[in-house]
Structure 1
């Protein structure tokens, strides 16, 4: 199991605002802000969670090639809300909400590129 991970972003304030808006429908928020990094995680955190969060943005040269990150949603409605919020926050559509049966019968996801070009996904695996 992964405890935490992160990406490098060019403009920390811009990326923080993007992820704050895009991840809010999934129950994620800022858990810790540092001068050159910000940690996001479930709000409220579960017992035993890292108080700083499990997804980090660090001000640095963005990674190349850009990675793909999928965030778990708990419903199709959350996937839809993530996609709307991410686009309103400046993301670029990389695949609208919908079924992706080539992965499995109930794979429902949406994809956006963040301000640095990372491919961000919200996915729900339920029926």
Structure 2
């Protein structure tokens, strides 16, 4: 249903570093940086697989409390996401594990990004 989404980030370079590391285990990469002449001088970039689906744009005002969940094909990818995100400066918000209260195969991990957004990797496959 959702084609793409995005968030405001305070420190664009720090956020690129974080998302480069956190999304790599899930196979997503930075696929585009929009030239500043098209964004009124604001840094804007999009992550995805073959097209931008998750956008970052630099802003003075950001807001913690947003939640974004990224699909993982395997539980091991969730584990790798969690470790990579923590190593890149993310803060623990829920170690990898089964969340049976959502669904019996809901295996997820949660980290807070540099702006306090709740970022999740989730796998729905039994392993």
TM-score by length of 2: 0.90
Unaligned runs of 5+ in 1: 46-50
Task: Report the counterpart of residue 124 of structure 1 in structure 2.
Answer: 123
d(CA) in 2 for partners of 1:62, 1:86: 19
Q: Between 81-90 and 30-39, report the one with greater CA deviation.
A: 30-39
- 1:37 counterpart = 2:44: yes
Which whole-Å CA distance do the structure 2 matches of 1:109 and 1:24 have between them? 16
The residue number in structure 2 matching 1:81 is 80
TM-align CA RMSD: 0.9
Cα distance in 1 for residues equivalent to 2:86 and 2:17: 12
Write the deviation string for residues 56-100 of structure 1: whole angstroms up to 9, x where unpaired: 00001213x521000000000000000000000000000000000
Residues of 2 paired with 1:123 and 1:78: CA distance? 9
State the shift of 1:40 in Å: 0.3
Counterparts of 2:65 and 2:123 in 1: how far apart (Å)?
23
Following TM superposition, by how much is the alpha carbon of 1:2 offset from its aligned partner in structure 2, in angstroms? 1.0
Measured after TM superposition, the shift of residue 110 of structure 1 is 0.1
CA distance in 2, matches of 1:3, 1:20: 21
**Count, aligned residues:** 118
Counterpart Cα distance in 1 of 2:2 and 2:89: 28
Match of 1:25 in 2: 25
2:58 equivalent in structure 1: 59
Gaps of 5+ in 2: 37-42
